[in-house]
Homo-oligomer: A and B are copies of this chain.
Amino acid sequence: MPIDTSAGADPREIPDATVSRLPEYLHALHTLAEAGQTTVSSEGLAVAAGVNSAKLRKDLSHLGSYGVRGVGYDIAVLTTQISEVLGLRQHRAVALVGVGHLGQALAGYGGFANRGFGIAALFDIAEDRVGTELDGLPIRHLDELPEVIASERISIAVIATPPLAAQRVADSLVNAGVTSILNFAPCVLDVPGNVDVRKVDLAVELQILSFHEHRKSRNGKVGT
């Protein structure tokens, strides 16, 4: 079955593990570019991204890479390629629901705007927050969510609310047409199958570290 799309890269067959590393590569490429480099070898990029070079090459091969043997990768070309695959070439507006501590941190997080994202709308329900501005963006009431999501053509949303509110917010978002959700609330969201949810639980990471810490002290001192 010749199911070739335009270029050699078929986004449908990129393994999840690879996709999860592409943003790291992209970031490393930006860093290298800022340092003045124009090309980089797989080894160099692998070190910058903190991974094995063979893994990096295999990852890049999945997106029909444009490396040159004996030379390496053109940083500009590779940056464009990865950005394209990740869908970052087009404007991706993001809605942020829940402007508490975490939400404010996320809204002010430079990493988003720097990498092709823009927080396009903020929502909350607290009376003392709605109507105010954060970084020049108005905080709207949750009731306005459907129309804003629609008019701004937002398909990605971040939930940074307390866990009890998260499911209700998720339902609203899904109804409004959002198809990708990044959930910071520590709870399991129930959404239709066509909606992607990624969950980030800050406490979970600490607990995983605690496990390793516990394991270390059990095993006694680990000499270097």
State the A residues within 8 Å of B (CB): 5, 11-12, 14, 19-20, 22-24, 26-28, 48-50, 85-88, 92, 94, 100-102, 104-106, 108-109, 111-112, 114-117, 155-156, 158, 179-182, 186, 188, 192-194, 196, 198, 200-219, 222-224
Also in contact, A215 and B23, with CB within 8 A (given A188-B50, A205-B200): no
- Shortest Cβ gap from A179 to chain B (Å): 6
Cross-chain contact A20 with B208 (CB below 8 angstroms): yes
Is B207 a contact partner of A22 (Cβ separation < 8 A)? yes
Which B residues touch A24, using CB under 8 A? 201, 204
User: Does B198 lie within 8 Å of A182, measured CB to CB?
Assistant: no
Closest to A156 in B: B209
Given known A-B contacts A86-B214, A194-B222, A215-B11, A48 and B207 have beta carbons under 8 A apart: no
How many Å lie between the Cα of A49 and that of B27 in the bound state? 32
Give the 3 A-B residue pairs with the shortest CB-CB distance, closest first.
A87-B214, A111-B203, A101-B105
Find out whether the CB atom of A23 lies under 8 angstroms from the CB atom of B109: no
Are A210 and B92 interface neighbours, CB within 8 A? Answer: yes
Q: Closest Cβ of chain B: how far from A156's Cβ, in Å?
A: 6
Are B11 and A186 within 8 A (Cβ)? no
Tell me if B23 and A194 are in contact (CB < 8 A). no
Given A102-B105, A109-B202, also A155-B85 (CB < 8 A)? no
Excluding A105-B105, A181-B209, A194-B223, 18 further A-B contacts by CB distance (< 8 Å) are A11-B211, A22-B211, A24-B204, A26-B207, A86-B207, A87-B210, A87-B213, A87-B215, A88-B207, A94-B206, A102-B109, A111-B202, A112-B202, A114-B203, A116-B210, A117-B203, A192-B224, A198-B208
